[in-house]
Amino acid sequence: MGNLQETVAAGKTVVEREKRVLSLNIEKIRERSEAVIDEVERVIVGKRETIQQAVLTLLCNGHLLIEDIPGVGKTTLAKALAIAMGGEFRRIQFTPDLLPADVTGSSIYNQKESEFSFRPGPIFGNVVLVDEINRATPKTQSALLEAMEERTVTVDGETRQLPRPFFVVATQNSVEMTGTYPLPEAQLDRFFARVSLGYPSKLSEIDILARQQISHPIDLVKTVINPNELMDLQNDVRDVFVHDSVREYIVDLVRATRESPHLLMGTSPRGTLHLMRAAQAHAAMTGHDFARPDDVKATAVSVLAHRVLPRAEARARGDSNGDLIQKVIETVRAPVPVS
């Protein structure tokens, strides 16, 4: 009897220790993510919610698509994120004449050594900004998306690992579509989330003028986390508890997109997994060690909207993909939050 009691007591001690460790990790995720967001907000004024979605995507080891008009800060956002996380920033301007080798790199013949040597392409960075991804041909787009998925590139039969962490921020102009190659749905699905910056408010725009009158505030952004610490946080996010009822709620939301009369195509199983990861990260970023229905709702639009295809009548009404996802959220009953 005594041995049984000792075993139970030891088991409880282990569980309590694990809870304390997870609690400490959650607090670290919250603190470090807030620090990154604060640094980026030095240059992206009045867009804290969008910055939070970008940092959340980074914590989930995903990739971000920013769809917006020129000049609203897409490049600055990516550069500020790279500085704040202490990573190497690379930029690729996609154009119709860009070749896959211009992205991944190529083998160059070295006359002195009489052999080929590999010259890495701009994809070899921690934060890679792909500007106007829809300007390049489908072949070049595919080379990038393969690197995003596999975290490797293969040149001349040799596979090379990309740096870790590896975060792609792709942009596309949603207005000027002449001479573009729009990403098909299967390739859009590779992006963890899609966001939009939009125009700043009047007060924010006045603030931007004041901040940039003398110098660009990107020079003031400080490194608040290192790449190895970020990868530890990415692993910690996966430890956030997800109750069976919350998992079922996530699946119900995704299935509702497939059955919606307003949508021609619903969300893929990859979207289901990404939504769970997003809910875990959102919970941790707000100081919780368990995912709640509210965490699912807060991330559903950015994670799911680019994965669905609306019917013609929905587009004719002027409903955006985000509006349609919001309608789906309103029709699916959320479980009672668990603690």
pLDDT of residue 254: 96
The domain spans of the chain are 18-236, 240-339
User: Taking 50 as the threshold, does the pLDDT of residue 15 lie above it?
Assistant: no
Instruction: Give the dihedral sign, CA 148/163/79/40.
Output: positive
pLDDT in tens, 75-129: 889 999 999 999 999 999 998 899 989 999 888 877 777 777 888 889 999 999 9
Question: Between 212 and 12, where is the model more confident?
Answer: 212
pLDDT of residue 19: 54
Question: Between 122 and 208, where is the model more confident?
Answer: 122
Q: Are 279 and 246 in contact (CB under 8 A)?
A: yes
pLDDT in tens, 44-77: 888 999 999 999 999 999 999 998 877 778 888 9
pLDDT of residue 3: 53
As given in the structure block, the two tokens for residue 68 are 């917006």
Question: Between 294 and 219, where is the model more confident?
Answer: 294
**CA-wise closest residue to 334 among 273, 245, 272, 266:** 245
pLDDT of residue 178: 58
What is the CATH code for 240-339? Answer: 1.10.8.80
pLDDT of residue 145: 84
Across the chain, where does the E strand assignment appear?
64-67, 89-93, 105-110, 115-120, 127-131, 152-155, 158-161, 167-172, 193-195, 263-265, 309-310
Mean pLDDT of 131-157: 86
**CA-wise closest residue to 92 among 77, 104, 84:** 104
Among 187-191, 212-216, 309-313, the least confident range: 212-216
**CA-wise closest residue to 193 among 67, 310, 6, 292:** 67
Q: How far apart are CA 124 and CA 30, in angstroms?
A: 29
Domain 18-236 has CATH 3.40.50.300: yes
* pTM for the structure as a whole: 0.86
pLDDT of residue 86: 92
User: Taking 70 as the threshold, does the pLDDT of residue 160 lie above it?
Assistant: yes
Q: Are 11 and 4 in contact (CB under 8 A)?
A: no
Query: Which whole-number Å values give the CA distances from 307 to 14, 97, 161, 188, in the listed order?
Result: 42, 28, 28, 7
pLDDT of residue 11: 46
pLDDT of residue 285: 96
Residue 181's Cβ-count burial label (10 Å; 0-12, 13-18, 19+) is: middle
Q: How far apart are CA 300 and CA 311, in angstroms?
A: 20
